[in-house]
Structure 1
């Protein structure tokens, strides 16, 4: 099906995403910001500054480098400079999620440049290196980090800077984290490429539950199938089919955990054409069957109650 025949293609902007310039106040050494969702900077973007990002509300798909995963309230991550990222929540037209995100952005070279006078800052270097792949935190670290980021919004000046250093120390010394992007991920970080990738990722997120094919999205990108396939792999770290499967299985997991919809119906709702392919893909990704995943989700929910 040609791209132009979709009824809601107007929802996919064709604006070229600008390189994001992070501007801090003259009196601040880092930026702290409370964001609604969606807004104009909620796109697949990159910048040289490091970003500590707290998802306070809602759930959705996280894209960090070549990593595709799921986030929920309390999801705390850091993304190193130059690593593309986006956190996508499905919203209805006109819907606004107030205060979904707290964003903290800082220039690592300021820290490195200050290490001559404050040598303790050199202890952060291994953490800064790890962060170049993106890190997500869990357990008590995520809880304590979220509390610090929330409290930062209530103070200014030295009090906020003290909490910033406390947060860096917390994240740098914990072992409650996972690395996100693979070490060999190396996208083409120019505006034209980002424009194509952003439109493609948006379209995939909007239509992954349909019978979506590579030629359709290649047409959106204005490329041949073979050229787009290579381009998509280079700039997302995933093949087109793998990316599509990850989105479908993410949605399947939500439906398995949160609803009583029969597994066969879920299979078709998320875009699979037959139950055998769905079961096979689910088992390969999660090392268990959909029915086992649903049972385990119920058990975890009961333990939290």
Structure 2
């Protein structure tokens, strides 16, 4: 499944149009005959933008380098990167592009709901070891080494298969990631919110995130978010902090600074325009908040190359190696 370019849309215009958009809630749809969604797409693409959704997402970078945003952290990516993103965690992969450049077949994506997995696990106890993996995905997990290579092959195989065999490859890649050794997986961000959270806690986080994303460039009031969650402000504040690990104001700040990093890296907008675009009407305050979160000024951050930009809590990852050969060429040598 790929986004189809129009005759009148040049790649550079597509890139500018997509990258300027704020984060959004992505609605995941799949065919009635499928219990999960597998797709591949180019970059820039309508579906490649800063977004969040209640589904789990497995993401493979086939080609290109650039920067990712996962939760409240920004870091580098390269070919062969495999990441697992938990429900509600905002994310984006922004490729380094030359003028008029399009990275074809950049991504492979697998998305599924927690409800689907739990239904499967309720009748297939062999899936129980995967549950711990999914419960930790609220921090975002990046896999490397042989785990990433094998998972990439299995993700590719999902797109080549049909019926029960297609499902078997989904379970295979989940098993591969669940069995990953400690030195081949890295947690990217702090816990975004508990995937085990239920009821009022989940409602508060979902309503809060939706409200923040819809109003990221304007004034944000917790009272408005609480009203959307049908809660009083004290109740909303309590449940939001309990389920997300952050106060509402801290979440707003982290999302605004993450969006600023995205705009600084991917657009030519002035620092003042970026400040306004992420909700800071006072440039001095924006510079101060950015420095507190990132450790440098916005102008210095923009001058750095992708590999030099700070990655917050993200450890240094070896992402410079080329992705293994295509799955059809290498399947015989990779156990599945």
Give me the TM-score of the superposition, normalised by structure 2: 0.62
Does the alignment pair 1:251 with 2:257? Answer: no
Q: What does 1:1-305 align with in structure 2 at a 5 Å threshold?
A: 11=16, 15=21, 17-175=23-181, 176-183=184-191, 188-190=209-211, 191-194=213-216, 197=256, 200-206=260-266, 213=271, 215-221=272-278, 223-225=280-282, 229=286, 238-239=293-294, 241=296, 248-251=303-306, 253=308
CA contact (8 A) 1:56 1:101 kept: yes
Residues paired across the two proteins, number: 247
Work out the CA distance in 1 between the residues paired with 2:298 and 2:127. Answer: 39
Spell out, residue by residue over 1:63-112, the C-alpha distance to the aligned partner (whole angstroms, 9 max, x if none): 11122111111011110010000000122343221100001111122111
> What SS does structure 1 have at the residue aligned with 2:160?
coil
> What SS does structure 2 have at the residue aligned with 1:238?
helix
Question: Residue 163 and residue 12 in structure 1: after superposition, are their counterparts in 2 closer, same or farther (change >3 A)?
Answer: closer
Question: Residue 225 and residue 51 in structure 1: after superposition, are their counterparts in 2 closer, same or farther (change >3 A)?
Answer: same
Tell me the residue number matched to 2:227. Answer: none
Give me the TM-score of the superposition, normalised by structure 1: 0.68
CA contact (8 A) 2:61 2:107 kept: yes
CA contact (8 A) 2:89 2:192 kept: no
RMSD value, Cα: 3.8
Q: Which runs of 5+ in 2 are unaligned?
A: 1-12, 194-204, 219-255, 322-336
CA contact (8 A) 1:69 1:250 kept: no
Question: Residue 193 and residue 107 in structure 1: after superposition, are their counterparts in 2 closer, same or farther (change >3 A)?
Answer: same
Work out the CA distance in 1 between the residues paired with 2:142 and 2:315. Answer: 19
